[in-house]
Amino acid sequence: MSQSFVPVPAGSDFPLENLPYAVFSTDNNKVHRLCVAIGEHVLDLKAVSQLYPPQVQKSLQAETLNELMGLDFEAWDVVRTQTQKLLAQGSELDQNVDLKAVSIVPQSEIKLHLPAQIGDYTDFYSSIHHATNVGIMFRGPDNALMPNWRHLPVGYHGRASSVVVSGTPIRRPLGQTLPEGAEKPVFGACRLLDFELEMAFFIGGKGNQLGEPIRVDEAWKNVFGFTLMNDWSARDIQKWEYVPLGPFTAKNMGTTISPWVVPTAALKPFLLDNFPQDPEVLPYLRQNIPFNFDINLEVSLKPSDQNESLISKSNFKHLYWTPLQQIAHHTVTGCNLRPGDLMASGTISGETPDSYGSLLELCWKGTKTVELPGGKTRKFLQDFDEVIIRGHCEKNGLRIGFGECVGQVLPAFSVPQ
């Protein structure tokens, strides 16, 4: 591939082969615009939209990614190919000094926003290692996985209104809990606040009509791109409330995503075989194409008074159920998906303790501690702790990164009287 005229430092998450999308503004222009990242800068797509084919120009002038997501995969390829051409050395943009001056913006000068207007958000439970670990904790090794788990992608509908962009603080929630040995619940601040290492993808394409399923091997046309996610979890609130309908207030206080959406095309060099599934799934879930990726994931924890510490390293490849199976199952009833809908993986844990994607697992239901520098320890998150999730792919000298997904815990509001 050609070199970009925009400098890309060694080890950058954002080379010319990546070009993740985001929505940004600046101090001197508060209007939200689309951009792609290149090195330590962004390209303002609205400022250069006239250099793209007419059929995609309007989508590049929008204030969210929804309109671009609503085009088809062929249009996404048109935009991506033209963007790479424009950013290459000697390109039309490179030679236009005035346009280059207004369209190439340092990331240090921008504010990033939610990349899309999220209409609906669905969270799955697709990591077999995570599901097994949680099952062992609460039901024992003989009943770790529920009978349905290997037959369908388990999921639930989350709260789209509380999905926030990286950097947004998360308030410790209030709620009901049932103390150990008690017969009646009490009300107060969550004591067992946790992170969940996840990835998510945005729905794109024309979507499907109500009543019309999406076939599993056609579902790739509806995956616009991927982002990092922390789906915060109030474990003690969830334990009391989740029977019989599943998580509710324990999960609706906030879900953090990275501002960067890495297009599926950028991940093709990192394709892997799908996770082996046994027993064989029903025909509507039988996937004949690979859609699994070698994405390195890590979680760091930063107390308010010290530097961050790496506490977990996992990988997207540990997911038992693929995004295409998730889409196929989600729509098999005829549920209609819309551009900008968000689908999350669920907690991504590996096989070894250092790859677990939550404190619930790392501390094994509070029986162990995570050791931090200076003798500090954690079993669950404390006020002002900051959680930083990062992700990248790397192979043959090519690095494709996802940036960061960051959130800090704020103290709970005073308990209402």
Q: How big is the chain, counted in residues? A: 417
Q: Do the annotations mark residue 198 as ligand-binding?
A: yes
Q: Do the annotations mark residue 77 as ligand-binding?
A: no
- Taken in order 286, 75, 124, 295, the sign of the CA dihedral is positive
The distance from CA 313 to its chain's CA centroid, rounded to whole angstroms, is 16
Q: Do the annotations mark residue 139 as ligand-binding?
A: yes
Q: Do the annotations mark residue 156 as ligand-binding?
A: no
State the Cα–Cα distance between residues 6 and 8, nearest whole angstrom. Answer: 6
State the Cα–Cα distance between residues 318 and 34, nearest whole angstrom. Answer: 32
Q: Do the annotations mark residue 125 as ligand-binding?
A: yes
Which two structure tokens, joined as six digits, stand for 204?
Answer: 């794109």
Number of helices (H), then strands (E), in the chain: 8, 26
Q: Which residues are within 8 A (CB) of 185 and not within 5 positions of it... i.e. 6 or more apart?
A: 176, 177, 178, 240
| Active-site residue, selected from the candidate residues 41, 130, 318, 392 | 130
Q: Do the annotations mark residue 351 as ligand-binding?
A: no
Residues 236 and 255 sit within 8 Å (Cβ to Cβ): no
Q: Do the annotations mark residue 417 as ligand-binding?
A: no
Task: Determine whether 130 is an active site residue.
Answer: yes
Q: Do the annotations mark residue 273 as ligand-binding?
A: no
Bridge-based pairing of strands 342-344 and 121-124 is: parallel
Task: Map residue 65 onto helix, strand or coil.
Answer: coil
Q: Do the annotations mark residue 196 as ligand-binding?
A: yes
Q: Do the annotations mark residue 251 as ligand-binding?
A: yes
Question: Among residues 416, 411, 403, which one has the least CA distance to residue 165?
Answer: 403
* DSSP character at residue 261: B
Radius of gyration from C-alpha coordinates of the chain: 22
Residues designated as active site:
130
Residues that constitute the known binding site for substrate: 125, 139, 238, 242, 347
Residues that constitute the known binding site: 123, 125, 139, 196, 198, 231, 238, 242, 251, 255, 347
Residues that constitute the known binding site for Ca(2+): 123, 196, 198, 231
